[in-house]
Every structure is written in C-alpha cells, then in structure tokens.
Amino acid sequence: MIATRARLAVGLLRLTGVENVSDLEVDLEKTLREPEPAKWLTIQTRLRGAWLEQVPKRLENAVKHDLAVADRLTRQVPLVKDVLRSHPGEPAMASRQNEADAYRRWLKEVRRAESNAAQ
C-alpha cells in the first residue's frame, strides 16, 4: 500500500513537471528492493518537500508566465490552489480570456485589411 502511494506520488510529480523526479524514482525503487525505515524516511521527506515546496513554486511561476500550464497544474494538483489566492481568477478563465482577446485583435486586423482592399 505504501509503495503504491509512493509510486503514484512520484508519477504525479512527473506530470506536474517537477525537476529531479527521476532521481527520486530511482531512490524509491532502491528502497522498495531493500526496505529500511531510514530509507523510507528519506523518501517521505523528499516527497513532502517536492509537494510542499517545488510544486507550489512551479504553479506560482506558471501563473505569472504560462496560464495553460497553471490550468493543467491546478487540475492535477488541487491541493496547491492556495498559491492562486494572490492571483485573481482561475488560470483557465484568464487563459481563455487571453485567447478571446487575441481572436478579437486578429478579427479587427482582418476587417481592416478587407476594408482597405475594398477601397
């Protein structure tokens, strides 16, 4: 049961794009082959650090620079949504708003070009 949860946690970390997941995965597999309490404590500490420090930092960076990534992160990892308190709105809404604004700008340019061509 613990091994399954640890593997799932590592897999989710990989999906969120956290760095050095491969190292954690290798250490987890070593611990599964040679289980010792000290090794499990190390794995637990590293997983906790990744979830409580690295994932929120990644989400905060994504909110500032890439709303699509932020949207995916909040869907995969709802427990880190606290990072969004300092940013109004959901990343999905902001991302869609940016897409709509870009479409309106494009449409305006197309209409202006058509108008100039008709003259």
What letters, b where the CB count within 10 A reaches 16 and e where it falls short, cover 59-74? Answer: bbebbeeebebbbbbb
Q: What is the pTM of this model?
A: 0.57
Q: How far apart are CA 5 and CA 82, in angstroms?
A: 23
More confident residue, 91 or 83: 91
Confidence of residue 100 (pLDDT cuts 50, 70, 90): confident
- Please indicate whether residue 119 or residue 104 has the higher confidence score (pLDDT): 104
Residue indicated by tokens 């870009």: 102
* Whole-number Cα distances in Å, 27 to 9, 24, 35, 41, 55: 14, 5, 11, 12, 19
Greater pLDDT, 91 or 103: 103
Tell me: pLDDT of 60 over 70: yes
